[in-house]
Amino acid sequence: MAKRIAYLGPAGTFTEEAALFYDPQAELFPFPGVSAVAAAVDKGMADEGVVAIENSLEGSVTETLDLLIHESKLVIRRELVLPVDHCFLVKPGATAQEVKVIFSHPQALAQCRRFIERCFPKAEAVAALSTAAAVMEMMAYPAGAAAIATRRAAILYGAEILAHGIQDHSANVTRFVVLAPNDHPATGYDKTSLCFSLLEDRPGALCEVLQEFAQRQINLAKIESRPSKESLGKYIFLVDLEGHRQDPAVAEVLARLQISVGQFKVLGSYPRYVENN
């Protein structure tokens, strides 16, 4: 039986590309937002969900981080890293000179900021729920509209590609994660994501936590912070570390953190992405 995968839709988004890359045989179900994708998995409408979590140009997708920290019991089961090639789409027969409005997802608009400023300085940038939704809005717009989206979206919705590779940097990649009720068994080459808050705000408090990893020779691949949503100045720290939560050294540090920090949550252990040369 084919796996049921929810993703940020509609069809034609980069997230759909990630879902197809992850499991070409899966039955895909598009949803209008990250929270809706998670709800579909939570309620059993889908087995897993695919959402974006980080872009090499614009950084973390805060909606996904906040979902994992505050809203959902789902965990990360896999990570997927895909190159992002943004295309500039118009209605068939339209010209660049006619463009007055550009639709796209906020992340895509940000990743193509220089192209827009250089080529369409007077155009209005309009945020859409997804890159595919942007194409649908552009196609329904009376005249003078364009969209930034995928090649697949152009094919699906009958748009014409005026330009491709319009992102500000050629090395533009997005990291996606597969959300599921359970994370992945250990493979020997894994990553674990977690979040925590400090018990008290004092000099050296964060350093003491990070020393727990250093003392056990655990490499941290990433560390960042998000507002705790409790009060101004209180933060949740997010860490990606090398190793699986069941590895002895990682299990030891996780047990230690549970009693030495405030809020604490393991967001999942999963195989590390390996770049193919």
Could you tell me the mean pLDDT of each successive run of 10 residues in the chain, 277 residues long?
92 93 96 94 97 90 93 96 94 95 94 96 94 95 95 95 92 93 97 93 88 94 90 89 97 93 95 78
- Pair 109, 102: CB distance under 8 Å: yes
Decide: pTM greater than 0.85: yes
4-83+172-180: CATH homologous superfamily? Answer: Periplasmic binding protein-like II (3.40.190.10)
Fold (topology level) of 190-271: Alpha-Beta Plaits (3.30.70)
Mean of the per-residue pLDDT values of the chain: 93
Domain with CATH 3.40.190.10 in the chain: 4-83+172-180, 87-164
Domain with CATH 3.30.70.260 in the chain: 190-271
Fold (topology level) of 87-164: D-Maltodextrin-Binding Protein; domain 2 (3.40.190)
pLDDT digits (tens, 9 = 90+) for 251-260: 999 999 998 8
pLDDT digits (tens, 9 = 90+) for 29-72: 999 989 999 999 999 999 999 999 998 888 899 999 999 999 99
